[in-house]
Amino acid sequence: MDDTTSADRALRLIRQGSTLRWEGDFHNARQLLAALGRRTRHVQHLNALLITTNDYAIRLRRAPDVAAACREAYGPPNGERLIPLRELLGVIGAHQHRKRGIYLAALNARIHPHYGVFAPTRSEYVDLVAAEPLPPTEVAFDLGTGTGVLAAVLLRRGITKVVATDNNPRAVACARENLRGRAEVIEADLFPPGRADLVVCNPPWVPGRVNTMLDTAVYDEDSRMLRGFLRGVGDHLTPDGEAWLVMGIRPQEEMLAEFRAAGLRVLGRTGAVPTHRRARSDETTYLWRLRPSDANPFVEKA
């Protein structure tokens, strides 16, 4: 495929099962990908436009130097490699974020995300955790910590012991780099040993299928992480402890059903509406305060 290929023809070939190896101008490839994105939302379709790299060099007109970004994402070069352009752009963006950092007012500091780790480019969920009234807390867990940003917020709020977990080795390395020894960071599937006065979790919001490493930060396949957190958190809270779930997109009725199934009651809910210009009406971010049900019936107080 080259600069003469139209988006309609490219999509027609992709839907027939073809992958497209790009041989034209790099910037034109980006424009074609954008045009495909206006015609389809299928990730597999968008990932079918491929760029050839040779030891992470791209021999196309107007191609950027991506060697450093690719080494961070994939490790040492090993000859020719075909990379979906959509993924490659994510690799480039992740490299820039890691180098420059993302400033967060809630921390008055920058967080440096790694490739394959969710970047806090939209700060509503961070602001919610920074502002919600804390229960009496000596120990807090941050599950699925990613960059470590929420653990950093909890430390800034004065919690003396924070344990952060993630099952992604990249996220563990990223959180350790950002937290600089101020919190314990453990590679674990959700819960560390012991109990905490506060357990915070911001799982991926979309119950979709994971296709690439970047998708793991967005999609929670079969709601595995969400349900694992809800069903297990009661065994990891102190008697008066609280669980904070940060979640968006999913309907309230669905969330309440999940809480009932897990034996949890709602203490409260706080929402934050995004202000960026591409925000949709269903993008409100909520912080749900939860506690295991006792003898009282389930009560939704949001």
pLDDT tens readout for residues 20-58: 999 999 999 999 999 999 999 998 999 999 999 999 999
Q: Do 191 and 232 contact (CB within 8 A), yes or no?
A: yes
Burial grade of 82 (CB within 10 A; 0-12, 13-18, 19 or more): exposed
**pLDDT tens digits for 97-141?**
999 999 999 999 999 999 989 999 889 999 999 999 999 999 999
pLDDT of residue 208: 59
Cα 234 to Cα 292: distance, rounded to the nearest angstrom: 6
Q: What is the pTM of this model?
A: 0.83
pLDDT of residue 172: 97
